[in-house]
């Protein structure tokens, strides 16, 4: 709790981003030997620059980047196998960062030859992906919609921990945009910070959460990891997804090493 209170003070005085740069140095030192060992054991696994990983994941541990990335790719693959009946499917990861998850998808049985696209508004992450990750088309998007032009007609779009860094208004704008980029029967998979996170909120925010309102911790650049949104399921179902078909909601699937809630949705049924 003390850590959270300090973060709140730093947020209010606009020093959270600066403090983060100092913490990155500590994080790199802390992981120096484990990361060296990982790189020696996995010489062909390219790791992103530390500052890009830290910006996206708040850690710089290559073993975790690898293992959790693989596990989360398996989650996405399992949901696609369950909910998408088409063959030769087209997949898009929105907010792919430095490829933690998407890089594993092409190695999963049944996903080796499909068309996979990734986008992020962080240009540097996308440049790194384009240079280092094969068999996937990467492109830069913007913080606000629309998506770049060729991005449409997907059987599956997924976004892991991306809505978690947006303002309320952008939740609605992006939900609209992503649904439009799906094929009529395609699925959107996205994650939210649901009930498991509510005990980590300070009192006033928790009260807001308890009455079903989206909690947004801002005062920092939108889209960045410390710009953080918390999503009561009531808000997601009754507001964000008001007109969508909720295909599946999985609360904190810890068997996939994920604390965030997972939602699988389809476009609204047109009558």
Ligand X SMILES: C[S@@+](CC[C@H](N)C(=O)[O-])C[C@H]1O[C@@H](n2cnc3c(N)ncnc32)[C@H](O)[C@@H]1O
Binding footprint of ligand X on the chain (CB under 6 A): 56, 94-97, 100-101, 120-122, 125, 141, 143, 160-162, 165, 223, 225
Q: Are strands 215-217 and 228-230 parallel, antiparallel or unpaired?
A: antiparallel
CB of 229 to ligand X, least distance (A): 11
Distance CA(46)–CA(55), nearest Å, equals 18
222, 245 in Cβ contact below 8 A?
no
CB of 159 to ligand X, least distance (A): 7
CB of 237 to ligand X, least distance (A): 22
Task: Give how far the C-alpha of residue 18 lies from the chain's centroid of Cα atoms, to the nearest Å.
Answer: 23
Q: What is the DSSP letter of 184?
A: E
> Could you count the other beta carbons within 10 Å of the beta carbon of residue 98?
26
CB of 269 to ligand X, least distance (A): 27
Q: What is the DSSP letter of 183?
A: E
CB of 95 to ligand X, least distance (A): 3
Nearer of residues 162 and 262 to ligand X, judged by Cβ? 162
Structure tokens at 101: 């998850």
Nearer of residues 121 and 256 to ligand X, judged by Cβ? 121
Nearer of residues 35 and 161 to ligand X, judged by Cβ? 161
- Please give the radius of gyration of the chain, using alpha carbons only, rounded to the nearest integer: 18
Nearer of residues 14 and 169 to ligand X, judged by Cβ? 169
Structure tokens at 91: 């997949």
Nearer of residues 225 and 249 to ligand X, judged by Cβ? 225
Helix (H) or strand (E) holding 228: strand 228-230
CB of 78 to ligand X, least distance (A): 16
Distance CA(226)–CA(169), nearest Å, equals 18
Nearer of residues 31 and 161 to ligand X, judged by Cβ? 161
- Closest to 262 in 3D by CA, of 183, 201, 166, 193: 193
Nearer of residues 64 and 213 to ligand X, judged by Cβ? 64
Distance CA(97)–CA(94), nearest Å, equals 9
CB of 185 to ligand X, least distance (A): 24
Rounded to the nearest 10 degrees, the angle between the axes of helix 16-30 and helix 50-57 is 120
Looking at the DSSP assignment, which residues form a beta bridge with residue 266?
245
């Amino acid at each position: 709790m003390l850590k959270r209170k300090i973060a709140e003070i730093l947020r209010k005085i606009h020093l959270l981003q600066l403090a983060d740069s100092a913490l990155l140095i500590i994080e790199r030192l802390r992981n120096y030997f484990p990361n060296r060992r990982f790189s020696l054991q996995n010489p062909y696994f390219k790791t992103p620059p530390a500052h890009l990983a830290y910006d996206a994941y708040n850690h710089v541990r290559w073993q975790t980047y690898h293992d959790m990335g693989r596990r989360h790719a398996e989650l996405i693959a399992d949901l696609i196998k369950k909910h998408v009946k088409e063959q030769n499917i087209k997949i898009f990861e929105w907010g792919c960062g430095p490829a933690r998850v998407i890089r594993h998808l092409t190695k999963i049985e049944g996903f080796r030859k499909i068309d996979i696209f990734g986008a992020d508004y962080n240009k540097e992450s996308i440049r790194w992906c384009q240079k280092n990750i094969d068999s996937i088309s990467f492109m830069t998007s913007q913080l606000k919609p629309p998506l770049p032009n060729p991005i449409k007609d997907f059987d599956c779009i997924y976004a892991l921990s991306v809505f978690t860094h947006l303002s309320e208004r952008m939740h609605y704008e992006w939900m609209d945009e992503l649904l439009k980029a799906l094929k009529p029967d395609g699925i959107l998979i996205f994650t939210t910070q649901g009930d498991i996170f509510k005990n980590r909120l300070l009192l006033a925010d928790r009260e807001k959460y308890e009455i079903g309102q989206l909690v947004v911790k801002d005062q920092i650049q939108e889209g960045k990891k410390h710009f953080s949104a918390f999503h009561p399921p009531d808000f997601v179902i009754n507001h964000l997804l008001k007109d969508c078909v909720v295909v599946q909601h999985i609360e904190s699937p810890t068997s996939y090493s994920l604390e965030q809630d997972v939602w699988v949705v389809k476009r609204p049924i047109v009558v």
